[in-house]
Amino acid sequence: MMETNREARTTEWTSMQAYTLSVLCLVIGIVVGWLVRGSQAPVAASTATNSEAAAVSGADVNSKDPTPQQLQHMADVQSAPMIEKLKTDPNNTSLLAEIGNVYYDAHSFPTAIDYYQRALKLEPSNASIRTDMATAYWYTGDSDSAIAEFNKSLSYEPNKPNALFNLGVVEWQGKMDVNAAVAAWQKLLSTNPNYEAKGKVLQLIAEAEKHAGVKPGTPAKPLPQ
């Protein structure tokens, strides 16, 4: 996570450094919304999450965003019948993953990870569930576990689009490893020539390569005295 007191520790930015980092932060902010679960289509992902949350709560889509507590309550209500069913069918992989998805969409990522782990104990080669879990790890701030799980997903499905897409995002944003990120995205495009979000991937590659030398979190050079 970014340190909240970073500004207090750094010296003045040059205009070029400030501009470069601001552009990178803007791009990274957009990228966060692009991460998708293993079974979702990338273009519809962010809209689907908002629609699902509104449907569960009965809230107006245009109303104020629900609080974390409200999202948790929505997930608890929506998953209750599935959890009850799970008592008589504890080895139902699809049901475990579906419950995990409910908590994922409610941003209750640790709970989602728990259900994904239970599903993967029964079906470890399920690349979609593992990609979901990897993405949930990323949202908890654990980029190392996210990358490890994306790579494990790809060991089962080497050309899985969403795993490659998300791996690139986490390699870039989580590790500032531009080469690894670009490699993942290039493989995505070469192995999935009809990928519907090709334009987004090309944009990410271009932006990542443009900012390969920027490393957020390191002190800027002070202005000449």
Question: What pLDDT, in 10s, does the model give residues 3-34?
Answer: 333 333 323 333 333 333 333 343 444 444 56
pLDDT at 210: 84
Domain membership flag for residue 153: yes
pLDDT at 212: 72
Q: Same domain, yes or no, for 157 and 193?
A: yes
pTM of the entire structure?
Answer: 0.71
- The top-scoring range by mean pLDDT among 4-18, 112-126, 206-220 is 112-126
Q: How many domains does the chain have?
A: 2
Domain membership flag for residue 55: no
Q: Same domain, yes or no, for 112 and 153?
A: no
At 181, list the tokens: 């990120």
The answer on pLDDT for 2 being more than 50 is: no
CATH number at 83 reads: 1.25.40.10
Residue 148 burial (CB count, 10 A): 13
Domain membership flag for residue 159: yes
Domain that holds residue 98: 68-123
Asked whether the beta carbons of 106 and 76 are under 8 A apart, the reply is: no
C-alpha 134/C-alpha 148 separation (Å) is 8
Domain membership flag for residue 28: no
Amino acid at 27: V
Domain membership flag for residue 48: no
- 33-83 residue pLDDT tens: 567 666 554 433 333 333 333 333 344 434 577 898 888 889 889 989 999
Q: Same domain, yes or no, for 159 and 202?
A: yes
Give the residue from 76, 94, 123 where a domain finishes.
Answer: 123
Domain membership flag for residue 62: no
Residue 195 has what DSSP assignment?
Answer: -
pLDDT at 34: 60
Phi/psi for 58 (5° steps) reads: 75, 15
Q: Same domain, yes or no, for 151 and 208?
A: yes
Asked whether the beta carbons of 151 and 123 are under 8 A apart, the reply is: no
